[in-house]
């Protein structure tokens, strides 16, 4: 298992755009799970609308960061 992980990391290290895309996917998935958890638990009485606004803002910020990273890599 460790050898497979090592080969995967080695491959992703040689493909920076693919690595950034994978990081973006993982962060988006983690953010979605966090928002769904907050929504289901309804911590601190947070309303659904505030959660959706925060989710849209976080997704936009992630896209901005990934696009900035891709533009720096492509130079």
48 within domain boundaries: yes
Which residues have a Cβ under 8 Å from the Cβ of 30 and sit 6 or more positions away?
none
Question: What angle, rounded to 10 degrees, do the helices at 16-41 and 2-14 form?
Answer: 120
Per-residue pLDDT, 62? 79
Mean pLDDT of the 51-74 span: 76
Please give the tally of structural domains in the chain: 1
5 within domain boundaries: no
Mean pLDDT of the 43-71 span: 73
What residues make up the domain containing 63? 15-74
DSSP letter at 42 equals T
Per-residue pLDDT, 17? 72
9 within domain boundaries: no
Per-residue pLDDT, 50? 72
pLDDT band at 43 (very low <50, low <70, confident <90, very high): low
43 within domain boundaries: yes
Q: Judge if pTM exceeds 0.75.
A: no
Report whether 62 contacts 27 (CB < 8 A).
yes
Which residues have a Cβ under 8 Å from the Cβ of 13 and sit 6 or more positions away?
19
35 within domain boundaries: yes
44 within domain boundaries: yes
Mean pLDDT of the 29-53 span: 70
């Amino acid at each position: 298992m460790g050898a497979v992980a090592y080969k995967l990391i080695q491959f992703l290290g040689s493909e920076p755009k693919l690595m950034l895309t994978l990081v973006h996917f993982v962060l988006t998935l983690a953010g979605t799970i966090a928002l769904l958890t907050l929504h289901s638990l309804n911590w601190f009485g947070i309303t659904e609308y505030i959660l959706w606004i925060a989710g849209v803002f976080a997704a936009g910020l992630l896209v901005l960061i990934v696009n900035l990273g891709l533009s720096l890599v492509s130079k």
